[in-house]
Amino acid sequence: MTDTNSQRLAMIRERLTVALSPTLLDIIDDSHKHAGHAGARAGGGHFVVKIVSAAFIGQGLLQRHRLVYEALGDAMHKEIHALSIQAYTPQEMPV
């Protein structure tokens, strides 16, 4: 993992933690799987986020994703090329 992607992981973790107070937050950097892809050439990373938060209670899938995108803000246009989101309430938390 590059320093740039380490910094991106830290930034993603910080923004999601501040905005959504997750009880579980796993972030996987899949950027290496996309070498040569247009987004990778432009410098954006590919990440998978698994997040459990009470903020998702009463929210549908689209609303949960919007909350994550809002928390990440401008990083979605600069630092992150692709993001896969698995968002759960504490009651839905997978094993």
Report the CATH number of the 3-92 domain.
3.30.300.90
Residue 62 per-residue DSSP state: H
What residue ranges do the domains of the chain occupy? 3-92
- Residues 62-87 have pLDDT tens digits of 999 999 999 999 998 888 888 999 99
Q: Which two tokens stand for residue 26?
A: 């796993």
Specify the pLDDT at position 93.
79
Specify the pLDDT at position 28.
94
Q: How far apart are CA 35 and CA 50, in angstroms?
A: 23
Angle value at C-alpha 13, between 10 and 18, nearest 5 degrees: 125
